Chains A and B, each alone.
Chain A
Amino acid sequence: MKLLTLNFLTCARKACKTSAASFPLHPREAELEQVELDMNPQFIRNVLPRVEWEAMRSISQELGLPSLPDTAPGPEELADAEGGPTQILKDLHTLLMETTIASGKLLCANCGHEYAIKEGIANFLLPSHLV
C-alpha cells in the first residue's frame, strides 16, 4: 500500500469520522518496501494541493523516514529553470508513490482499532460488534 493512499483514508467506524484524531491512521510495526515507478511530474504537482501536509509529515516521521519541510513546497520549488523536476519533486515521488507498506497495522488514534495490512493489502472490514 502506497503512502499516498493514507492521505485518503480514515477509520471505518462511523463514530470516528467526526473526530480529528481519526486522521491520519498511524502505521505500526510497518514493513516498508520500495517499489520503483515511473515519475509523473505533472501528477505530483497537481496532487500536492490534495495532500494533507501535516498528516503526511507525521506519517513520514512515525515511519522513520527523512523529515518533510514544515510546509508543502510551492510550484516554484518543484520545477527547475528549464521546467525539469527538482530534487524536492523527485523525493516526493519516492515518498508518496514508491514507498509502500508491505505489512503492518494502521491505528485509529480515536478508537484504538488497528487495521491489518498483509501482502500490501489493507483490511478495513470491521468485526461485527464495531459496525
Chain B
Amino acid sequence: MAMLPTPLTSHVSYDQVYEPAEDSYLLLDTLSSGTETAFLRAHFSGHPSVPLVLEVGTGSGVVLAFITAHAEHVLGRSDVVTLGTDLNIFACGAASVTVVDAVEATQSMPSSEAREDTIPKPGSGVFLDTLKMDLASSCRPNIVDILIFNPPYVPTEHLPTAHTEESSTQTTFDRDSHLLSFSYAGGTDGMEVTNRLLSQLPSILSPDRGVAYVLLCAQNRPEEVKSRIREWEGGWCAETVGGSGKKAGWEKLSIIRIWKGV
C-alpha cells in the first residue's frame, strides 16, 4: 500500500511543544494499517450521523492532522468531525495550524497524483478546534466516537502540576521545560495520566460505537492494562493493534484499541 503523506510540522516550536517522535509515527502507521482501516471502515459505515474524533494531548497535532486529512482513507468517509485538546496553549495553537495545513495540502493534491492505485483518495474530514483542556473534561458525556491518546507514559517520581496562571517570576526556559514535562512525565509506572483517562473512557466514548486508541510503553505493562479493561462492566475489549521496537519478544511501544464488544 502506498504511504500517506505525513503532515508537516516545521512551524512548531519544539522548545515548547513535543516534537513528533517514534510514538507519534507508530500511531500514524497503526491508524492507516490495513487491519485498522478495515476495522474502522466497517465500524463507522452505514450510520448517517457523523463520527466525532477527539485527540487528547495533541502536541504538534501531527496525529490529528493525519486522521483529519486522510479521513476517507482511514475511516471510509469524509463527513467526520475532529477536535483536539492539550494543556499547553502553544500546542493548541501549533496543532491547529498543522491540521489546517495538512487538510489544505491533501485537498490541493493534483488529481493526477491522486490516482487510487498510488495515493489513496484525498477525502478529508472537518476539523473544528483545539481546546486548552485536561483530557476530555469539557466534552459532553458519551459523544466521542474515536479517541486517540499518546499519553505522557515515562515513569517519573512526580507529576507536573498545571498552573492556571503563568507566574511572572518564571523564566521562559523554566516555563517551557515545565510545559514540555506534561508531554512525557507519567508518574508511577508512567500510568498516572493514562489511568485517569482510562477510568473516564466509559463516560467519554459514545455508548454504541466508541473506540479508543491508547499508546503504551513496555514499562506501563500493557498486558495488565488490557486485562483490567476486559474486566470493566459492560463487555469491553482491548487488543494490541500496533507495536514497534521489539526486544526479546517485548514491544517497546504498543498501541491498544479499546472498544465495546457487541
Contacts and interface: CB of A to CB of B under 8 A. Distances in A.
Contacts of A17: 141
B204 to A, nearest CB: 11
A124 B137 CA distance: 8
B131 A121 contact: yes
Interface residues of B, number: 31
B140 A8 contact: yes
Given A5-B83, A50-B49, A50-B50, A12 B131 contact: no
A124 B132 contact: yes
Interface stretch (B6-14, B26-34, B122-130, B251-259): B122-130
Interface string A28-55: 0000000000101011001101100000
Interface residues of A, number: 31
B159 interface: no
Given A8-B143, A121-B89, A126 B164 contact: yes
27 contacts: A4-B81, A5-B129, A5-B131, A8-B143, A9-B139, A10-B139, A12-B134, A40-B78, A40-B79, A40-B126, A42-B79, A43-B79, A43-B81, A43-B126, A46-B48, A46-B49, A46-B50, A50-B52, A115-B138, A119-B93, A121-B92, A121-B93, A121-B130, A121-B132, A124-B131, A126-B134, A126-B137
Interface of A: 1-2, 4-5, 8-12, 17, 23, 38, 40, 42-43, 46-47, 49-50, 97, 115, 119-128
Given A8-B139, A47-B81, 5 more contacts: A4-B128, A9-B138, A121-B132, A122-B132, A126-B134
Interface of B: 48-50, 52, 78-79, 81, 83, 85, 87, 89, 92-93, 96, 107, 126, 128-134, 137-141, 143, 162, 164
